[in-house]
Chain A
């Protein structure tokens, strides 16, 4: 039954994506676009966090690298695709360079290195005025056109974003399902066993981080034509934390987790608008509660409910005792 359910659900999801902007105001379409864009960044971080088990706190600054390279190139008259590809390439290379020292050591060094890196990118984009426009930022980036089909209209740009989102998600699905992606899972579940089976864990983690960062580059390349204005503050540490929250709240390590998380992180502020300044307080308290009661995120809650309500596989009591030794 599950085998037939899945394609049906996917088709329904696709239909919802297509119908969603019809008849909506520009602001709602803008929100939908930013949901899709942050989903792409979160899908990338999910590979680093959910599959390779490393925390990156620089996802927003990788978005910044993508956004600035797209903005600079499109303002100079190059097509969007060139800017996007350059941004993705830069993110991948910087990811490798940053991950290499950090992943030499086990533990959460990558978290600290990326934390500091986010500050560094902020400083460079603020101080190097000749390149990035300093605190004033860059504005009036042209929107991309696809086969001569302009996306200046907000709805058209939305469909363009949907297209990029679907391609990125499909690519990630391929990566996760490939033998190579299964090695990521092996790494997360039991690093020692994975290593003894011949998986080069260090190299895989590094590549996962670099690919995850490249996804942020794609997201960044979409941000600059969407808002048509970028400044250093748009890619500060707060935004990295937001993307991290998307992954964790949705459910790290689940394919659809980051997309669900992005819905909540992007749309919850709108829903909690009546609480005014208390939004972040309520939100952070909710995250602490979620981590205490269900560390695997919202999708994990669903899995738990199913386990509780449905049939349970019998576990051998002696095996449980053995695992505690």
Chain B
């Protein structure tokens, strides 16, 4: 029983990090109809910005984290929108998907070339202690990862539902033409969405890299898990991405512990197919006019 609790808790901790990436993915899809196949690399990269600030500039950890966040927002938010997405805008769909796939190769190979192919240790953000809860040994890092991600999700939901800007972003996502007529600066709202996505990816990167180490190929699994979390939960809701992320994290851990390690990576596929067959609009999603 204590082992079960341990497995579930650490699954929730990783799952909440997947959820951050999945939420960014969902937001981009809603506001800009952009399916970002480079989302995994977006999570992989900011850790390297931090490492550059730490080791090349010799900055303290907090400054390096801020630097990583700022660079990620500029490069993965602003530049991604201006250089890749915006020039293609009339042709979203297939060409854009292919372009983001190429971008994912570009980021991955670029990182490998400029920072090296070995996994780099990443400084832990939280104390490496072990707590004992109901007889289960739980690392403080897991608990704090979970807390921070959930706090960010709550803050983001409040921002989107309670503030004027947040509501404008939602209006843009639901119906850009009408939003524009009502005086919403839709272009700026879409830009905000890209920036939020980049910030979420950076945060996920800072939380997961101490656990998995920073490696150029980390994006492959992270990307797949984020997509599947978004689809399983329901593509049109933040809540959905959160549920999807947590579910995948926990199920992944449970499969690895109790069923099989060699087929661990097959779980997302099974989950994906079951959900598509049973509830194509996701577990907590609602069927909307625009079929995803």
Contacts and interface: CB of A to CB of B under 8 A. Distances in A.
Interface in B33-84: 35, 84
A280 B109 contact: yes
A12 interface: no
A111 B97 contact: yes
Contacts of B131: none
Interface residues of B, number: 38
Interface in A261-312: 277-278, 280-281, 283-285, 287-288, 291-293, 295
Contacts of B227: 112, 115
B94 A55 contact: yes
Interface string B204-240: 0000000000000000100010011001000000000
B266 interface: yes
A246 to B, nearest CB: 12
Given A104-B280, A127-B262, A292-B87, A284 B224 contact: no
A177 interface: no
A113 B273 contact: yes
B102 interface: yes
B102 A287 contact: yes
B98 interface: yes
Contacts of A291: 88, 95-96, 98-99, 102
A113 to B, nearest CB: 6
Interface string A100-140: 01101111110111011101100100110000000000000
A281 B35 CA distance: 22
Interface in B241-287: 262-263, 265-266, 268-269, 272-273, 276-277, 280
B105 interface: yes
B263 A288 contact: no
B135 interface: no
A32 interface: no
A111 B35 CA distance: 11
A219 interface: no
A284 B102 contact: yes
A215 B199 CA distance: 42
A288 B112 CA distance: 19
A285 B99 CA distance: 9
Choose among B91, B102, B268, B280 the residue with the greatest number of A CB atoms under 10 Å from its CB: B102
Contact of A104 (B112, B262, B269, B276): B276
Contacts of A127: 262-263
Contacts of B99: 287-288, 291-292
Contacts of B280: 104-105, 109
Given A281-B110, A291-B102, A109 B94 contact: no
Nearest to B278: A101
A35 to B, nearest CB: 21
Nearest to A50: B94
Contacts of B98: 244-245, 248, 287, 291
Contacts of B276: 101-102, 104-105, 109, 113
A105 B113 CA distance: 39
B94 A119 contact: no
B32 interface: no
A284 B105 contact: yes
B272 A285 contact: no
Contact of A241 (B105, B110, B231, B263): B105
B163 to A, nearest CB: 30
Interface centre among B87, B262, B265, B276 (most CB of A within 10 A): B276
Given A104-B280, A281-B110, A292 B272 contact: no
A211 interface: no
Nearest to B292: A107
Contacts of A109: 231, 276, 280
A237 interface: yes
A284 B228 contact: no
A280 to B, nearest CB: 4
Contacts of B97: 55, 108, 111
A221 interface: no
B266 A120 contact: yes
A123 B266 contact: yes
A289 B73 CA distance: 22
Interface string A16-29: 00000000000000
A144 interface: no
Contacts of B109: 277, 280-281, 284
A292 B88 contact: yes
Nearest to B273: A101
7 contacts: A49-B94, A109-B231, A116-B228, A281-B113, A288-B84, A288-B99, A293-B87
Nearest first, the 5 A-B pairs at minimum CB distance are A295-B95, A116-B269, A287-B102, A284-B106, A291-B99
Given A104-B277, A112-B228, 20 more contacts: A104-B280, A106-B291, A108-B35, A108-B97, A116-B224, A119-B224, A119-B269, A123-B263, A123-B265, A127-B263, A245-B102, A252-B94, A277-B113, A278-B113, A285-B102, A287-B98, A287-B102, A291-B96, A291-B99, A295-B95
Interface of A: 49, 53, 55, 101-102, 104-109, 111-113, 115-117, 119-120, 123, 126-127, 237, 241, 244-245, 248, 252, 277-278, 280-281, 283-285, 287-288, 291-293, 295
